[in-house]
Amino acid sequence: MITALLSMIGPVRQAQLQDEEGFSGAKTWRRKTPQKCASRRSNEIVIKPGLKSFTLVRAAEDGVSVLDFTATERESPWNYFQNHGTTAGQLALIASVFLTISLLSSYAISYFQSELGDLPGPMLARFTLLWKVWVHIKGDGHVVYQNLHKRYGPIVRTGPNSVSIGDAAMIPKIYLSGHSYLKSSDLAPFTFMIDGKSVESMFTTQDPALHKVLKSAVASKYSLSSMLQLEPLFDKCMPLFVTEMDKRAGLAVDFGSWCSWYSFDLTGLLSFQELFGFMEQAKDINGVIESSWSFMSYGTLIGQYPYLHKYLLGNPCLVQFLDSISNANPMRLITETARVAIDKYDEKSTDLRGDFLDYLRQKQLKNPYIMTDRDLINNILIFFVGAVNTNSASLRACFYYLVKTPYTYAKLVRELQDADAKGLLSETLSFTEGQKLPYLQACIKDALRMYPIVGTPFDRVVPKGGAILSGYFVPEGTVVGISGWVTQRDKGVFGDDAESFRPERWLDADEKQVRVMDRSMLAFGQGTRGCVGKHVAMMALTKTVGQIVRVFDMEWAAPGEEWALTCRQHVRQTRVIMRLNRRQTQ
């Protein structure tokens, strides 16, 4: 309250002026003629000089005449803060209170009005996406989703509008029903910036029609028959890997990093017959592999709030600025290498080489309207990123589980040696030869079962009308998904030892059970949006695992007993330290 002196005709009397919110700066007003002020309830007197409005309380008496008075003038909040020197802390407090009230209101609405209210799950997840954000920051989503379903059952609420399914029987309904269940928007941050424009890909687009167009343009190149044409390029890279391991025989090496370097060089050959030199230099050139992981982390976190992407790495100005201060952008390295390779290719465009660039360029030359230069680069980036991430992580998984189960490793060595003794294997194992080795294929398959590269659910959107999933009605628009880390450890499908690596399960089961197990696998996704690069990955795994185990004895050499896993959508392995020694021929 502030005190004002009022000069009145007749005896001078005093009254107190109520210091209402938004009032400040005392001013004196004068009227030409006295004004009678009517009494109001609680003995309040309201005086209106001009367009100003003020309130007086506890006047000495009713009906006084006022000629001069001092009062306060209403100011805008902005002027109020300026004049009174409001601190940043006060402003932050006001903003925090407002934000808190808004969030609590939205959370309450989400909780009480949602048709998902009956579903079990973490309490925080019912109200906010921050639960998912926290899981991604911790990096243990692959374990969290397993534990959720062990605790709550086959269907769990994981967000205000999202549900995780742990029932493998729901895989056909969600992923094999054509385009009924569309992809969610969480992959939007994974779009690539090419020539200042964010470009959709068959991996990120939610539009089934666009996905069909994008996929049809390259589908034939991802076929098994087409991959077999690339085998000479595999055979060019494999001896380099073996040679580098020979140089380090008997030493503890970061085999996990070598799998990444090998995969990067291999994919360079498959893409445009260019070795980047990761194995030759034995390092992460310009830090691009580490930056790729940073990009994965960014996409995973921002994917919870995809509308933010256009202000961040979806903003061409910001991307251009970041490129100007750092060489670590992996997409930039791949793009620049691809452009150089395109120029070289165009100089001898009549030479058909069979690599991915050759396929894309020939398709473009035949019909420029099907594929622009930007589309060509985008397809190379998709192929590159998908192949490097999938191949390197899957190779680490295969070697880890083999080395950690010496009996299995020895059994695979015997299979390879027996085939060698019969003259069934080439100097560098071919894909066709490797496919005929049942135990090798079982080892790869069970490693992929134990370690699917994607650790969180493959999210889809429930179609119009809603759906019954695992006995619950889930309304349309709800984001639902299944994690392979859950279904691929289902004891009802894979047996009581589902938590263990045991390749024999694929060889001992009858055909019917194998089909059931196959339907529960999400290592490469399923349906029309499944991984188009499956054949590339299986060729890389078959040839590389078979050849390395054929040549080397391997043992675990890390200080700890286990590798370290971090889940940011993809599950990354570190501390994969091995010791390799060339096996003596008998």
Query: What DSSP assignment string belongs to 406-464?
Result: HHHHHHHHHHHHHHHHTT-S-SS--HHHHHT-HHHHHHHHHHHHH--SB-S-EEEE--T
Same domain, 295 and 160: no
Asked if residue 168 lies in contact with residue 487, where contact means CB atoms within 8 angstroms, the answer is yes
Residues 6+ away with beta carbon under 8 Å from 98: none
Q: Give a yes or no: residue 442 inside a domain.
A: yes
Q: Decide which of 76, 110, 138 is a domain's last residue.
A: 76
Would you say residue 302 lies in a domain? Answer: yes
In the prediction, which pLDDT does 157 show?
A: 97
Residue 517 inside a domain? The answer is no
Residue in this structure with the two tokens 């009397």, named with its chain if needed: 13
**Same domain (yes/no): 482, 401:** no
Give buried/exposed letters for 484-499 (b at 16+ CB in 10 A, else e): bbbbbbbeebbbeebe
Q: What is the pLDDT of residue 340?
A: 86
Find out whether 160 and 117 touch, Cβ atoms under 8 Å. Answer: no
What's the pLDDT at 71? 42
Q: Domains in the chain: how many in total? A: 3
* Cβ atoms of 527 and 175 closer than 8 Å: yes
Helices (H) and strands (E) in the chain, counts: 24, 21
Q: Please, what are the averages of pLDDT over each run of 10 residues along the chain (586 residues)?
A: 33 36 38 39 39 38 41 43 50 60 56 76 93 95 97 96 96 89 91 87 90 88 89 95 97 97 95 92 90 90 92 89 76 82 78 83 83 89 89 98 98 98 96 98 98 96 95 95 97 96 97 96 91 94 98 95 95 97 82
The residue from 31, 52, 76 where one domain ends is 76
313 and 439, same domain (yes or no): yes
- Note down the domain range covering 200: 191-453+523-582
Contacts of 381 (CB under 8 A, 6+ apart): 192, 194, 201, 331, 334, 335, 338
The CATH number linked to 320 is 1.10.630.10
Give a yes or no: residue 507 inside a domain: no
Nearest alpha carbon to residue 50 among 66, 22, 29? 29
Q: Could you tell me which residues come within 8 angstroms of residue 585 by beta carbon, excluding any fewer than 6 positions away?
A: none
Same-domain check for residues 233 and 342: yes
Nearest one of 443, 483, 467, 502 to 570, comparing CA atoms: 483
The count of other CB atoms within 10 Å of the CB of residue 436 is 12
Choose the final residue of a domain: 473, 488, 503: 488
DSSP strand pairing (479-482 vs 162-165)? parallel
In this prediction, residue 112 carries a pLDDT of: 52
Rounded CA separation 254/262 (Å): 12
The answer to whether residue 518 sits within a structural domain is: no
Domain assignment present for residue 557? The answer is yes
Strands (E), 93-231: 155-159, 162-165, 182-183, 192-194, 197-199
546 and 533 in a single domain? The answer is yes
Residue 567 sits in the same domain as residue 418:
yes
The verdict on 145 and 234 lying in the same domain is no
Taking Cα atoms as reference points, which of 543, 561, 300 lies closest to residue 430?
543
Q: Are 282 and 244 in contact (CB under 8 A)?
A: yes
112 and 70 in a common domain: no
354 within a domain of the structure (yes/no): yes
Both tokens of 285, joined, read 């050139």
Task: State whether 273 and 310 are in the same domain.
Answer: yes
Q: Verify that 318 and 286 share a domain, yes or no.
A: yes
Tell me the helix, strand and coil percentages in the chain, rounded to 5.
50, 15, 30
Is 82 within the bounds of a domain? no
Cα(93)–Cα(133) distance, integer angstroms: 24
305 and 201 both lie in a single domain: yes
Same domain, yes or no, for 197 and 156?
Answer: no
